[in-house]
């Protein structure tokens, strides 16, 4: 990877971009993943490349949801696997969630590569390779999941999900936690908990909240879930994007 000086004004953004490029070279990330990254960067720039307070509240609510779930699952695609493999493994450990590979442009080879990549970063059981169940309402390719993974989950964290699939998962009655930098994307709009933040910041912050909340009373986790206002979170992010860094979010 090209060395980027620590004091470069766009250091974090460039490191992230190179991780996605490496992901493509390693067969983990699809070429469409490059386009998704570009879209994300634009929104992140407008958000000020920081976790705004409403996103932090969403990340805490997401942590509470994962901790109180019967079967929490974290969906992993090629972008997320390239960007935050260690943070995904830490999140799974902190919440008891399963990691499940779930690809929009699914090929057996890419699923296996991502599962191997996660195992190299310390993941134990990685789901998503069986492909023995279908999400209703989607065409065959995009509907494929594991029966004991996303299909069975009551709470599912989907970073960078496609809008149709996010809507179909919500339709199945799952509590959906979506990380997406665009508050207007169909995925964010379909989510019970829309997290308008970069996965690079969001995943470790959900883990930090989970560690904190796992030591709290049940009532504290419930309160966190009840108090979260999805409409307000979407509005705050949109205001920040439209208003620039002087916005009130
Ligand atoms: P939708 O169908 O949900 O309306 P889309 O399928 O058109 O959206 P894509 O073109 O797949 O969306 O773009 C991927 C989405 O992922 C964009 O909304 C982008 O903001 C978001 N995204 C890309 N990179 C990141 C990242 N690192 N962190 C969070 N979100 C990201």
37 lines ligand 1 (CB under 6 A): yes
Distance from C-alpha of 223 to C-alpha of 247, rounded to nearest angstrom? 28
What integer is the mean pLDDT of 91-97? 97
What is the whole-number distance in angstroms between the Cα of residue 130 and the centre of ligand 1?
26
Pocket flag, ligand 1, residue 187 (CB < 6 Å): yes
Residue 217 CA to ligand 1 centre (angstroms) = 35
Any residues with CB less than 8 A from the CB of 19 and at least 6 apart, and which?
Answer: 82, 83
160 Cβ below 6 A of ligand 1 = yes
Is the pLDDT score of 248 beyond 80? no
This model's pTM is above 0.85: yes
The string of DSSP letters for 109-144 reads HHHHHHHHHHHHTT-S-EE-SS--EE-TTS-HHHHE
Query: What CATH number has the domain bearing residue 188?
Result: 3.40.50.12640
What is the Å distance from ligand 1's center to 181 Cα? 7
* Cα(241) to centroid(ligand 1), Å: 15
pLDDT at 3 (0 to 100): 78
Residue 99 lies in a domain: yes
Other CB atoms within a 10 A radius of the CB of residue 4 amount to 15
Q: Across residues 38-58, what is the average pLDDT?
A: 96
In a mutational test of the pocket of ligand 1, which residue from 36, 104, 164 has the highest number of ligand atoms less than 8 Å from its CB? 36
Residue 192, both tokens: 């019970």
In this structure, of 156-165, 221-230, 233-242, the range with the lowest mean pLDDT score is 156-165
Q: What does the pLDDT look like over 9-32, one tens digit per residue?
A: 888 888 899 999 999 999 999 999
Question: Atom 16, ligand 1: which residue's CA is nearest?
Answer: 160
> Which burial class, exposed, middle or buried, applies to 98 when counting CB atoms under 10 A from its CB (0-12, 13-18, 19+)?
buried
Do 95 and 66 meet the contact criterion of CB atoms below 8 Å apart? yes
Ligand 1 neighbourhood includes 40 CB (under 6 angstroms): yes
Residue 149 domain flag: yes
Q: How much of the chain, in percent, has pLDDT values that exceed 90?
A: 81
Q: How much is the average pLDDT of 120-134?
A: 92
Locus of tokens 């494929």: 144
The CA distance from 122 to 85, in Å, is 9
Of 203, 248, 245, 185, the C-alpha closest to 54 is 248
Average pLDDT, integer, range 91-109: 93
State whether the Cα torsion 36-147-62-92 is positive or negative.
Answer: negative
pLDDT in tens, 170-196: 999 999 999 999 999 999 999 999 999
**What SS3 state is found at 16?**
helix
* Whether pLDDT at 247 is above 60: no
Which parts of the chain are beta strand (E)?
72-76, 98-101, 126-127, 133-134, 144-145, 155-159, 175-179, 193-195
Model pLDDT, residue 60: 98
The answer to whether 130 touches 123, Cβ cutoff 8 Å, is: no
Cα 37 to ligand 1 centre (Å): 7
Q: Residue 178 belongs to what domain range?
A: 53-245
Q: How many domains does the chain have?
A: 1
Ligand 1 centroid to residue 188 C-alpha, Å: 9
- The reply to whether 16 falls in a domain is no
Cα(179) to ligand 1 centroid in Å equals: 9
The verdict on the CB of residue 43 being under 6 Å from ligand 1 is yes
Give the nearest ligand 1 atom to 42 CA.
20
For the stretch 130-182, pLDDT in tens is 889 999 988 877 888 999 999 999 999 999 888 889 999 999 999 999 999 99
Quick one: which atom of ligand 1 is closest to the CA of 83? 27
* 165 belongs to a structural domain: yes
Contact criterion met (CB below 8 Å) for 98 and 149: yes
Q: How confident is the model at residue 69 (pLDDT cuts 50, 70, 90)?
A: very high
Q: Which of 179, 150, 174 is nearest to 87 (CA)?
A: 179
Give domain status of residue 18, yes or no.
no
- Does 4 fall in a domain? no
Helices (H) and strands (E) in the chain, counts: 12, 8
169 is in an annotated binding site: no
The pLDDT confidence band at residue 244, using thresholds 50, 70 and 90, is: low
Is 203 marked as binding a ligand? no
The answer to the question of residue 33 being in a domain is no
> Is 35 contained in some domain?
no
DSSP 8-state symbol, 107: -
The confidence score (pLDDT) of residue 106 equals 86
Q: Which atom of ligand 1 is nearest to the CA of 160?
A: 16
Per the annotation, does 39 bind a ligand?
yes
CA atoms within 13 A on the CB side of 217: 3
């Amino acid at each position: 990877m090209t060395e980027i000086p620590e004091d470069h004004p766009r250091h974090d953004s460039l490191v992230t971009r190179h991780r996605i490029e490496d992901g493509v070279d390693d067969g983990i990330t699809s070429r469409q993943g490059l386009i998704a990254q570009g879209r994300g960067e634009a929104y992140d720039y407008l958000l000020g490349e920081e976790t705004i307070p409403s996103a932090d509240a969403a990340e805490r609510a997401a942590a509470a949801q994962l901790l109180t779930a019967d079967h929490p699952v974290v969906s992993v695609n090629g972008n997320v696997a390239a960007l935050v493999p260690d943070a995904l493994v830490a999140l799974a450990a902190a919440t008891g969630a399963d990691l499940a590979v779930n690809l929009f442009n699914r090929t057996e080879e890419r699923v296996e590569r991502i599962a191997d990549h996660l195992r190299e970063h310390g993941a134990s059981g990685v789901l998503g390779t069986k492909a023995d169940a279908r999400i209703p309402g989607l065409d065959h390719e995009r509907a494929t999941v594991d029966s004991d993974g996303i299909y069975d989950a009551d709470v599912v964290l989907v970073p960078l999900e496609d809008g149709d699939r996010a809507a179909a998962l919500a339709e199945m009655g799952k509590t959906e936690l979506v990380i997406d930098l665009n508050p207007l994307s169909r995925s964010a709009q379909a989510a019970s908990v829309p997290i308008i933040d970069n996965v690079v910041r969001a995943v470790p912050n959900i883990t930090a909240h989970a560690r904190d909340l796992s030591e709290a009373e049940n009532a504290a986790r419930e309160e966190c879930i009840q108090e979260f206002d999805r409409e307000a979170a979407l509005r705050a992010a949109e205001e920040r994007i439209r208003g620039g860094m002087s916005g009130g979010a």
